[in-house]
Structure 1
Amino acid sequence: MSKNKVNYIPRIIFVGDSGVGKTSIINYAKTGKYEANSVPTIGAGTTTMSYRSNGKLIEYQLWDTAGQEIYRNIVPIYFRGAVGAIITFSMTDPTSFQNIQEWIDSLVAHADPDVKYLLVGNKIDVHELKVSEEDVKNWAESRILKCSLLLQLRGNPLIY
């Protein structure tokens, strides 16, 4: 068997509102170059990336989905079979930040139960940020259940 043979190609899907930079992130990951003038994705686009780890060829697909409202009903079709999702928002666009829970809910409803996701705040290089790091931290903090069984913090046990 060739050591270049790939039997399984995991899929990672990029989701988020239109204009948040999903395509630019994928293009940069693939080429190492920033392209300032990318056009909005229609439907979805895919690319395959590979690298070697411990002598094995690791290959995966990156799916770039459209963020425009008119495509919201078809994007969940691409969730099935994905092992991971990059939920992207722009630090310059408060609406894209407000919509991340919508993207998470759609992912949870339509993807495989064990799918993992990562939240990415893009465009931090822009001088007029409209989403603060504090906003992002507060959002994340509000979705984490902090507890200590030893100290009985938060009062209610996790298992009833």
Structure 2
Amino acid sequence: MTTVTMTVNGKTVSGEVEDRTLLVEFIRENLELTGTHVGCDTSQCGVCVIHMDGKAIKSCTTLAVQASGSQITTIEGLATGDELHPVQKAFKEHHGLQCGFCTPGMVMAAVDMINRLGPNLDEATIRHELEGNLCRCTGYHNIVKAIKAAADEMAALPQAAE
């Protein structure tokens, strides 16, 4: 067993893990943050996307020991109190979800996309950037619309939010 320590959603956390424990398992089982989902375990679906040190990663193919010492943000850490993150708000307002299973990973990927590429996102860019995040319900139209709306809103903010 190895002790891992990291900052998750602004809180320092530690735990004992086997070296083979996936980061998604540590987040869900040890920290009881179940917004990060487990889908394919092969890095294909994107439901496990979180941010590690400010970059989107798939937590189903990252070991918890690899994340020790890192800053982790999960879907639970995006909102500020009762105020939803602009991407969360846009997904709600533009019906960018149906069953909700892929939504946390989509939102986390979208925040990363906007932070990296800025607010001037067109539909083709958004669709290209979402490769690796699968949705079986929506057909992506409203997801793309929500991401574009969030990018526009974030551009109007004094400073990009994460």
Q: Normalized against structure 2, the TM-score is what?
A: 0.26
Identify the structure with the greater strand proportion: 1
Q: Normalized against structure 1, the TM-score is what?
A: 0.26
Rg comparison, structure with higher value = 1
Identify the structure with the greater helix proportion: 2
